[in-house]
Chains A and B, each alone.
Chain A
């Protein structure tokens, strides 16, 4: 008989995580914008993502609140990318964000096929926008472009489906990371590799 722990691991290892939690994608991700014209032009007209909902809201509650317009672009699966435009708010941009942290913060949209990715590549170039990168990653191929709010937008297509091995490795990697962060030694990639090997050799992923 399979142990409860093993059953959980089997379920967690299921590609896509189907049926083990009730979340069904992103309802919406929201960002402030100081350039509604550029934002609507970029998402609706360049990328072709329909504007599906807007709200105009009178300020209420906290004293820092301002009147605003909240607008939502469809990004598939009934998920949305949303923006707030606050009337009277001075534009703000963090110019001191280190490049590494800037690149680490981005939105990745999913497309299914190479043709879809090529289509967005062409849309971006035809609009005269700068394609930041086109990269073959490990399991996705991606293009990158900056939106008018300086948000880094990635569009990615899968190169293969994720497997149970990917999910198991994710669990092992996460456990190894937590272990080395909780330990006395300096947390490094070398320490992570070593701890992962210990966990695998001890049968943790089995």
Chain B
């Protein structure tokens, strides 16, 4: 299971929401963080989030059991690791 952690702050809400909207994703609120977990790859389309570049490139707070294979102007893609 791969988990993406986003800081629970207003500027990152749209990023975590787009991450959470994909099939198979589960959302949880921890103190200070919003997490999105999936058994498969997690993909976030930057344009779908609508956030500015500074927010986009600082949105990912932590990654549990996953490997970031893409994080650029188009998308964030994280694949599960054992």
Q: Interface size bucket, A side?
A: 20 to 34
Whole-angstrom CA separation of A166 from B67 in the bound complex: 24
Asked if B68 is at the interface (CB within 8 A of a chain A CB), the reply is: yes
B32 and A168 form a contact (CB under 8 A): yes
**B31 touching A168 by the CB < 8 A rule?**
yes
Flag if B54 contacts A138 (CB, 8 Å).
Answer: yes
Contact A160 B10 (CB under 8 A): yes
Query: Is A193 an interface position by the 8 A CB rule?
Result: yes
The answer to whether B8 touches A165 (Cβ under 8 A) is: yes
Asked if A205 and B31 make an inter-chain contact with CB atoms under 8 angstroms apart, the answer reads yes
Interface residues on B, range: 20 to 34
Chain B residues with Cβ below 8 Å from A160 are 9-11
Residues of B with Cβ closer than 8 Å to A?
3, 5, 7-11, 30-33, 52, 54-55, 58, 60-65, 67-68
Give 7 A-B pairs besides A165-B32, A196-B61, A201-B3 with Cβ atoms closer than 8 angstroms. Answer: A136-B52, A138-B55, A159-B11, A165-B33, A173-B61, A196-B62, A205-B33
* Subset of 25 A-B contacts with CB under 8 Å: A135-B54, A138-B55, A159-B11, A165-B7, A165-B8, A165-B32, A166-B9, A168-B32, A169-B32, A169-B33, A169-B61, A193-B61, A193-B62, A193-B68, A194-B64, A196-B61, A196-B62, A197-B5, A197-B62, A198-B64, A200-B62, A201-B3, A205-B31, A205-B33, A206-B31
